[in-house]
Amino acid sequence: MIFTKLILVLLVLTNLKLLGSSRVGSSIRVVAAQGIALGLLPVLGHAHELSIRFGLLAAGTIAIKGIVFPWFLFRAVREAEVTREIEPYVGYVASLISGVAILAVSFWMCMRLPMPASLASSWLAPIAIFSIFAGLFLIISRKRALSQVLGFLVLENGVYTFGVGLAPQSSLLVEAGVLLDVFVAVFVMGITMFHINREFDHINTEQMSQLKD
Amino acid sequence: MKIELFIPLLLAMTLAPLLPGIINRTKAVFAGRRGQPLLQTYFDLWKLLHKNAVYSRTTTWIFRAGPMLGLAGIIIALTLVPFASFPAIVAFPADFFFLACLLGLMRFVTVLAALDTGSSFEGMGASREIFFSALVEPALLVSLVTLARQAKNLSLSIIFPAVSGAHWLDAGPVLALVFIALMIVLLAENARIPVDDPNTHLELTMIHEVMVLDHGGPDFAFILYGSALKLWLFAALIVEMILPPLNSLWLNLIFSIGGMFLLALTVGVIESVMARLRLLLVPQLLVGAGALAAMAFLLGLR
């Protein structure tokens, strides 16, 4: 129980850190740490009914989110030769304050929504929803394609957190499928980023709106 | 009113100047120096009290009243804070708002006195001080409101004994977040290193020190003493939050005082291992403290 709570708090803290961070490299590392922490969630959260199912889920999550994605994103940073600043539309302090506001909204929402009784912790649903919104906020408030990929990963981490909270009901197959989807998505995004960069010398998405055929 | 309620206040007024001494000694040890004596602040105060103050002709009574009002404000604020197993001398529901008001008053008179000198540097320091404190105050208030919510009471004297007991077991993460937020508040409010460097000698980079440049003699002694008391007050808030209340009164008192010295040591370590943040990054740190406090509040609601 206490481990679940700690991991959830860590999830919120890493999201706030991402909202306030100005460096691409540290953001990728934070997302990796978040992935590893979430990988441990099914093992530590359901310790009393430890099964090979949760073990596999944890191992797969840690391998993909904690090792493969960061490696892949660092490679993309290196090959696309992006500078290390993130370049937000919304400033870091404003993003941080928006993050807290989003957290408040998620808690408020979860008080009004009917929740399944089997959630691992009362914090799980609001924090999962916060993670989804924080990911969306990262996607719309950052200029770089790379930061938007990170936002997408945070969003997916929120969905995953919710899924793990309901793990006894949902099947391993669904989780594995989601993980595979995300893997393919990040893979495609990485390749796209590389191609955008080769065509236009940068991966700022703000200038894409001026494209004409 | 029972006379032993005044013991914490007396302790604060006698031991507070020791805290800056411990911080400085820790920093000296880290830097490989012998450092100034632990009692240096007492010597400074003694020396300053025997000097005469010099007043510029451009200043008015505001400049002279500033240090006295500031010291009075912080001493009244100390009567609101419980220490060890002693409840505060003055306790009423929502007294932490009054505490924040008194701290604000202390800052306000210091800023007014700084502006009264007409020096451009002091105006700059005053503007920074107000900017940063505007960001710190929400963090402090939200932290205290979170503690009040956890203890289900509005008076500091009841909040602290209630919070530090069994609460750490089931509300550990919430209290840990409040602790970090309060620690940043302590560093910022007392002009310690990640926010402001107390040893800096360049007016351009000073925040708190630049505001008191023109005070001399007993006035400066009041300011030094007031800032030592302020450090004691914030340290007391944190120590009271962490230390579980024990049954024995004297053991409790010894542990609390030991905790204060340990906290001063921690501040010294933080100052030794960290560089001062760039001025542009300080608001981010302070808003971060506010965000942690707000997060603790929201988590504490469930």
pLDDT in tens, chain A (213 residues): 778 888 999 999 999 999 988 888 889 999 999 999 988 887 776 656 667 777 777 888 888 888 888 888 888 788 776 666 767 888 888 999 999 999 999 999 988 888 776 676 788 889 999 999 999 999 898 877 778 888 888 988 888 888 877 766 666 666 777 777 777 777 777 777 767 766 666 666 666 666 665
Determine what percent of chain B is predicted with pLDDT higher than 90.
Answer: 59
> What is the pLDDT averaged over residues B9-13?
92
Output the CA–CA distances (angstroms, integers) from residue A81 to A193, A206, B182, in the order listed.
Answer: 11, 18, 41
> What is the pLDDT averaged over residues B46-55?
92
What is the spatial distance between Cα B29 and Cα B32, in angstroms, rounded to a whole number?
A: 5
Question: Which residue in B has a C-alpha nearest to residue A14's C-alpha?
Answer: B292
Q: Chain A partners of B295 at a C-beta cutoff of 8 Å?
A: 12-13, 16, 100, 103
The pLDDT of residue B64: 93
Question: Which residue in A has a C-alpha nearest to residue B301's C-alpha?
Answer: A107
The count of other CB atoms within 10 Å of the CB of residue B117 is 24
Do the Cβ atoms of A103 and B295 come within 8 Å?
yes
Residue with tokens 């100034």: B36
By CB neighbour count within 10 A (0-12 exposed, 13-18 middle, 19+ buried), where does A78 fall?
exposed
Do the Cβ atoms of B288 and A97 come within 8 Å?
no
B44 has a pLDDT exceeding 90: yes
Do the Cβ atoms of A92 and B284 come within 8 Å?
yes
Q: Chain A partners of B288 at a C-beta cutoff of 8 Å?
A: 16, 20, 96
What is the spatial distance between Cα B224 and Cα B218, in angstroms, rounded to a whole number?
A: 10
The pLDDT of residue B14: 93
Q: Chain B partners of A93 at a C-beta cutoff of 8 Å?
A: 283-284, 287
B300 has a pLDDT exceeding 90: no
The count of other CB atoms within 10 Å of the CB of residue A179 is 18
Do the Cβ atoms of B291 and A97 come within 8 Å?
yes
Question: Which residue in B has a C-alpha nearest to residue A5's C-alpha?
Answer: B173
The pLDDT of residue A3: 81
Question: Which residue in B has a C-alpha nearest to residue A11's C-alpha?
Answer: B295
Q: Chain B partners of A88 at a C-beta cutoff of 8 Å?
A: none
Which of A100, A107, A123 faces B291 most closely, judged by CB atoms?
A100
Q: Which of B106, B94, B87 is nearest to B8 (CA)?
A: B87
The pLDDT of residue B22: 93
Do the Cβ atoms of A96 and B284 come within 8 Å?
yes
**Rounded-to-10 torsion of CA B229, B230, B231, B236:** 90
Using pLDDT thresholds of 50, 70 and 90, give the confidence band for residue B116. Answer: very high
B290 touches chain A (CB under 8 A): yes
Residue with tokens 């009471």: B153
Highest mean pLDDT among B209-213, B266-270, B275-279: B266-270
Which of A2, A92, A99 faces B172 most closely, judged by CB atoms?
A2
B217 touches chain A (CB under 8 A): no
Q: Which residues of A touch B (CB under 8 A)?
A: 2, 5-6, 9, 12-13, 16, 20, 92-93, 96-97, 99-100, 103-104, 107, 122-123, 126
What count of CB pairs under 8 Å joins A to B?
Answer: 43
The count of other CB atoms within 10 Å of the CB of residue A107 is 21
Do the Cβ atoms of B290 and A5 come within 8 Å?
no
Between B103 and B87, residue with greater pLDDT? B103
Paired tokens of A48 = 């009393």
Do the Cβ atoms of B299 and A123 come within 8 Å?
yes
The pLDDT of residue B106: 94
Which of B284, B295, B302 faces A93 most closely, judged by CB atoms?
B284
Q: Chain A partners of B285 at a C-beta cutoff of 8 Å?
A: none
> What is the pLDDT averaged over residues B188-201?
85
Which of B173, B287, B295 faces A6 most closely, judged by CB atoms?
B173
What is the spatial distance between Cα B257 and Cα B262, in angstroms, rounded to a whole number?
A: 9
